[in-house]
């Protein structure tokens, strides 16, 4: 009999497992995948760490989170500065003075603000993503960097998509020549990729991979006093209110016989002329010097089968459905629900650390 069964060896489950073991609790971790690390898992190909479930860059301004993660790994100070390609033109993302200079030949922030202001459309209360984006970014940025990309990702016209709660944080607009996506004090990729983080978090902990909780539910549940569940909340309750929708992604990895394919880690393809949303060249995350390279095309899941659930569809229908599942979860004795799939929320890694450590404090105090 274990103290805790932890369903999911992703970031949330692994932090909880480590902390529980540290406090003398016995823990069994199971994951349906053949590896630990959840969506942070890196696959080594030709000495290059492939971010198998999409590019992941750690960033935080929280000293406690930074100190905590540095007990397990050190970082390479990689600064994420992606580009966007639209009709043959490369633009810096997020939108900054370099982007605005390329769009409008403006040179200083004052000119840029004036030009943007002349393009903005003012809505009292934007009713959809198109109105929201036009009111924040104006016509040019909306058409070149937002519209086609959002429609490709979601399969829905922007005028039918709801406004996004944190659009300004997802696609910041900055009047500086700073090309970094994240402005947090600390950022980077763990030296050697993300796998060493999980090897260290889960060191000495009982682990069963290739084990789907739902295929052995009764048996696994009977093996522990309490369960920490980090899988999909709708699946736990047999989809009784219907399934929670996600925009999914699908990745195709390819070895290319050249040293440097695109000159940067991530390029967003914001036009509809290609079906993929991004190309990722993994070696740039770790400044790799291999003679070959590995690139990944990221597709919206609807274009391929077997996409991973990535971005929750936060429309009112899904939100209301989630609230009903949450009520069931809160009433479920002996089970703690946590992580991005249980909370139906896209958390950053930093937020996942904060949430998991808060749960530890609550659950394992003393």
Task: Name the residues that contact ligand FAD, by CB under 6 A.
Answer: 7-13, 30-33, 38-40, 54-58, 212-214, 230-231, 249, 310, 339-341, 347-350, 352
- The residue length of the chain stands at 366
Decide whether 13 or 271 has the Cβ nearer to ligand FAD.
Answer: 13
Decide whether 7 or 95 has the Cβ nearer to ligand FAD.
Answer: 7
Match 């009709």 to its residue by tokens.
Answer: 87
Chain center to CA of 73: 20
- Residue 299 to residues 6, 171, 228, 278, 303, Cα–Cα distance (Å): 31, 20, 32, 8, 7
Contacts of residue 143, defined as CB under 8 A and 6 or more positions apart, other chains included, come to: none
For 250-266, b/e burial (b = at least 16 CB within 10 A) is bbeeeeeeeeebbebbb
41: alpha, beta or left? (left if phi > 0; alpha if psi -120 to 50): beta
Decide whether 133 or 189 has the Cβ nearer to ligand FAD.
Answer: 189
Shortest Å, Cβ 358 to ligand FAD = 14
Cα 105 from Cα 98, distance rounded (Å): 9
Shortest Å, Cβ 41 to ligand FAD = 8
- Token readout for 322 is 């989630």
Shortest Å, Cβ 119 to ligand FAD = 30
Shortest Å, Cβ 288 to ligand FAD = 18
Decide whether 281 or 350 has the Cβ nearer to ligand FAD.
Answer: 350
- Residue 136 to residues 119, 180, 268, Cα–Cα distance (Å): 10, 20, 20
Cα 105 from Cα 10, distance rounded (Å): 45
Residues 294 and 281 sit within 8 Å (Cβ to Cβ): yes
- Token readout for 104 is 């409008």
Question: Could you say which DSSP state residue 75 is in?
Answer: B
187 burial type by CB count under 10 A (0-12 exposed, 13-18 middle, 19+ buried): buried
Decide whether 112 or 249 has the Cβ nearer to ligand FAD.
Answer: 249
Question: Nearest to ligand FAD by Cβ — which residue?
Answer: 10
Shortest Å, Cβ 104 to ligand FAD = 29
**Strand extents, DSSP E, 284-325:** 293-300, 308-312
Decide whether 81 or 126 has the Cβ nearer to ligand FAD.
Answer: 81
Decide whether 231 or 288 has the Cβ nearer to ligand FAD.
Answer: 231
Shortest Å, Cβ 106 to ligand FAD = 30
Shortest Å, Cβ 315 to ligand FAD = 18
Decide whether 103 or 246 has the Cβ nearer to ligand FAD.
Answer: 246
Shortest Å, Cβ 51 to ligand FAD = 8
DSSP H helices, 41-188, are: 63-69, 97-104, 109-119, 129-141, 148-154, 167-170
Decide whether 39 or 132 has the Cβ nearer to ligand FAD.
Answer: 39
């Amino acid at each position: 009999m274990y103290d805790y069964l932890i369903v999911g060896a992703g970031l949330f489950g692994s932090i909880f497992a480590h902390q529980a073991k540290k406090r003398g609790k016995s823990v069994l971790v199971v994951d349906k995948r053949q590896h630990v690390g959840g969506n942070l898992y890196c696959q080594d190909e030709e000495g290059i760490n492939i971010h198998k479930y999409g590019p992941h860059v750690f960033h935080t301004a929280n000293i406690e989170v930074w100190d905590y993660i540095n007990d397990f790994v050190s970082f390479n100070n990689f600064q994420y500065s992606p580009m966007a390609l639209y009709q043959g033109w490369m633009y810096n993302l997020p939108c900054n003075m370099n982007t605005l200079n390329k769009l409008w030949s403006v040179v200083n922030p004052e000119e840029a603000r004036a030009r943007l202001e002349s393009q903005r459309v003012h809505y009292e209360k934007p009713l959809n993503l198109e109105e929201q984006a036009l009111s924040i970014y104006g016509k040019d940025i909306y058409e070149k960097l937002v519209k086609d990309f959002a429609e490709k990702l979601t399969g829905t016209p922007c005028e039918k998509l709801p406004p996004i709660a944190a659009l300004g944080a997802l696609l910041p607009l900055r009047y500086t020549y700073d090309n970094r996506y994240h402005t947090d004090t600390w950022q980077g990729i763990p030296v050697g990729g993300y796998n060493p983080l999980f090897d260290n978090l889960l060191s000495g902990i009982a682990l069963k991979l290739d084990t789907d909780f739902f295929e052995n539910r009764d048996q696994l549940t009977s093996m522990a006093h309490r369960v920490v569940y980090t899988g999909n909340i709708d699946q736990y309750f047999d989809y009784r209110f219907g399934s929670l929708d996600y925009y999914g992604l699908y990745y195709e990895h390819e070895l290319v016989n050249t040293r440097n394919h695109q000159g940067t880690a991530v390029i967003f393809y914001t036009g509809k002329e290609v079906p993929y949303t991004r190309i990722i060249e993994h070696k740039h995350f770790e400044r790799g010097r291999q003679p070959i390279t590995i690139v990944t095309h990221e597709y919206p899941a609807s274009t391929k089968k077997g996409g991973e659930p990535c971005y929750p569809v936060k429309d009112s229908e899904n939100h209301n459905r989630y609230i009903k599942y949450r009520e069931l979860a809160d009433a479920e004795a002996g089970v703690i629900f946590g992580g991005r799939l249980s909370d139906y929320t896209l958390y950053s890694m930093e937020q996942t650390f904060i949430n998991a450590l808060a749960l530890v404090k609550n659950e394992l105090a003393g």
